[in-house]
Amino acid sequence: MRSMPLVAALVAALVCALAAPAPAAAAGPGGTASPGLVPSGTSGSSHGRPASVSLHVRSVRITSVRCVPTSRCSANPRQVSVHGTLLIGGIGLKSGMIVAFPASPGARISRASPGSHLRQASAGLLVTVPSSAHSGRIMVLLGGGRYTSAYGPISIFRHALHPPKSKTPVPRLPTPIDGGAVSGSALEGQGMWIWYLSQSNGGSIASIAAQAHAAGVRTLFIKSSDGASNYWSQFSTQLVQELHAKGLLACAWQYVYGTNPKGEATLGAEAVANGADCLVIDAEAEYEGHYAAAQAYLAELRAKVGPNYPLVLASFPYVSYHPSFPYSVFLGPGGAQYNAPQMYWKAIRLLSVCAPNTPVTSWVGVALARCSCIHSTWSPLRPRASSGYSPLGVTLVSGASGSASVFQPPAPVSCQSQKDTPVAP
C-alpha cells in the first residue's frame, strides 16, 4: 500500500510527457522554424513551389538578338551602345518580361543585374540597353526566382555606333574565286559532314579534328536541328569554340519540312547565334510545291541573320527530276548564296564538270537547268576538270562515309534541249 503514491506519480509523469508538444524541426533563433526549410526525409514546398522543380525555364528562351536601327549600329548585329535598342527574338517571350545584362564585363546574371523590360513594337520585341550594362551573355528573369538560358555574348559600347561606310555597293551574291567560294570563307576547300556527333570518333573533338586535318578538311558541317521544334544540342557555342581552337570552321545544317517555316527559321537562326560559320538548308521532298512556305522561311531567316550571312542550299542532285521544288525561291533574291546538291559518291560517281562546249546537267545543281552532259568518274577527294573547260566555281566536299557534294553559286545556264535528261551512272 505504501507503493501507491509512487505508482500514481509515475502515471502522472507519463501523461504529461505524451501531452507535451513536439519540438519544432530545424528551429531557428527564438524557437521558430526557419522559413522555407523542409525537414530532411520529408516532401514539402517552399513558397508553394515543389522542391524538385528546376528554376531554369527552357520553354522560354532568346534565340536571336539584333541591334536596331541600322543607322545606330555597326556591321555586327550583336554590338550595341548603352541606351541603344536590341530587337529580341525567341520562344515564349512577352512584352513586360525583364532582360538582364551583366553588371560588369562577362559577369554572371543575378537578381541584382541591370535589366530592362521588353516592349512590343511593329518590328517585334525591343529592349533598351541600361546605362550600367556591360558586355557578356544576357537572359530573361522570370517571376519566382526562375530564369531562362543565357544568350550571347552581346558587346556593349560606351560610345555611339555607326554602320560602316561602303565605297561600292555590296553584291548580293559573292564572286566565285577558283573553288567557287569567297576566299577565306567556310565554303572554300574541303569539308566533312557529321550527322550524329556522338557517333563520330566516339564524340571526341580532338579525334575528329585530327582526322579532318589528316584529310585536308577545313570545315565541318554538323546537324543542328530537325523541323521547327527539335534543336540538336550537339551544335553549341562550346562545340564551335573548340573547333575554332583546333583550326577548323563549323557550319550548321538543318533539315526542314515546310509545315512551320517560321519555326524552322528560328532554329536556323539559333545555330547562327551559337557561332555557325555558315548555315546549310537541307530541304527535300517535303518542300516540293510549297513556294509560299519557302518564301516565309527565307524571309524570317534573313530577318534574323541578316542579308549577307552565308546560306547554302543542299537539296536534290538531279534538278530535272523535281520540277516542283522551289529552286527559284531558295536560290533567288534573299535566298542562299551557295548551292550544294547532294552528290553522293557511292550512288552517283559523276564528274562535277563537263567536256568543252557541252551543256551543264541539272545534277551539277544549277537551278532550272535540264540538259544532259558527258560525265566520268572522279576521286572522292580530288575533282577533275576537262581540259579547256572553266568550272563554274567547283569545290568538293567529302564526308567520312565517302559522300561528296559540289558547292557552286547559282549561275544562269543555257541548254540546247530542255527535253534531255541526265544519263544514269
CATH number at residue 82: 2.60.40.10
Pairing outcome for strands 49-50 and 230-231: unpaired
Q: Is residue 420 part of a domain?
A: no
Q: Is residue 238 part of a domain?
A: yes
- What is the pTM (predicted TM-score) of this model? 0.46
CA dihedral 220, 225, 226, 230 (to 10 degrees): 150
Assess whether 209 and 144 both reside in one domain. Answer: no
Q: Is residue 55 part of a domain?
A: no
Tens-digit pLDDT string for the chain (425 aa): 444 444 444 444 444 444 444 433 333 333 323 233 333 333 344 444 555 678 999 999 999 999 999 889 998 999 999 999 999 999 999 999 999 999 999 899 999 999 999 999 998 999 999 999 999 999 999 989 999 999 989 999 999 998 887 655 544 444 443 444 445 678 888 888 999 999 998 999 999 999 999 988 999 999 999 999 999 999 999 999 999 999 999 999 999 999 999 999 999 999 999 999 999 999 999 999 999 999 999 999 999 999 999 999 999 888 888 899 999 999 999 999 988 888 776 666 554 443 333 333 322 332 222 222 222 222 333 333 322 222 323 333 323 223 333 333 333 333 222 233 333 33
Single-letter amino acid, residue 401: S
Written as nine digits, the cell of 144 is: 519566382
Assess whether 103 and 218 both reside in one domain. Answer: no
Assess whether 136 and 231 both reside in one domain. Answer: no
- What is the total count of domains within the chain? 2
Written as nine digits, the cell of 40 is: 530532411
How far separated are the first and last CA of the chain, in Å rounded? 117
Assess whether 233 and 133 both reside in one domain. Answer: no
Query: Would you state the pLDDT for residue 14?
Result: 42
Q: To which H or E segment does residue 211 belong?
A: helix 205-214
Which has the closest alpha carbon to 297: 256, 250, 332, 327? 256
What CATH code is carried by the domain that includes residue 286?
3.20.20
The residues, any chain, with a CB within 8 Å of residue 113's CB and separated by 6 or more, are 100, 101, 102, 103, 107, 141
Assess whether 92 and 195 both reside in one domain. Answer: no
Which has the closest alpha carbon to 220: 263, 199, 180, 249? 249
Assess whether 226 and 318 both reside in one domain. Answer: yes
How many Å apart are CA 275 and CA 235, to the nearest integer? Answer: 9
Are 373 and 353 contacting, i.e. CB atoms less than 8 angstroms apart? no
| Residue 142 three-state SS | coil
Assess whether 121 and 194 both reside in one domain. Answer: no
Assess whether 204 and 270 both reside in one domain. Answer: yes
Assess whether 222 and 358 both reside in one domain. Answer: yes
Last residue of a domain, one of 133, 157, 181: 157
Alpha-carbon distances of 94 from 62, 91, 97, 260, 265, rounded to whole Å: 11, 9, 6, 20, 19
The residues, any chain, with a CB within 8 Å of residue 46's CB and separated by 6 or more, are 36, 38
Question: How many other β-carbons are positioned within 10 Å of the β-carbon of residue 145?
Answer: 11
Query: Would you state the pLDDT for residue 163?
Result: 85
Domain holding 320, by residue range, is 190-407
Assess whether 148 and 275 both reside in one domain. Answer: no
Cis-peptide, bond into residue 69, ω within 30° of zero: yes
Last residue of a domain, one of 157, 182, 198: 157
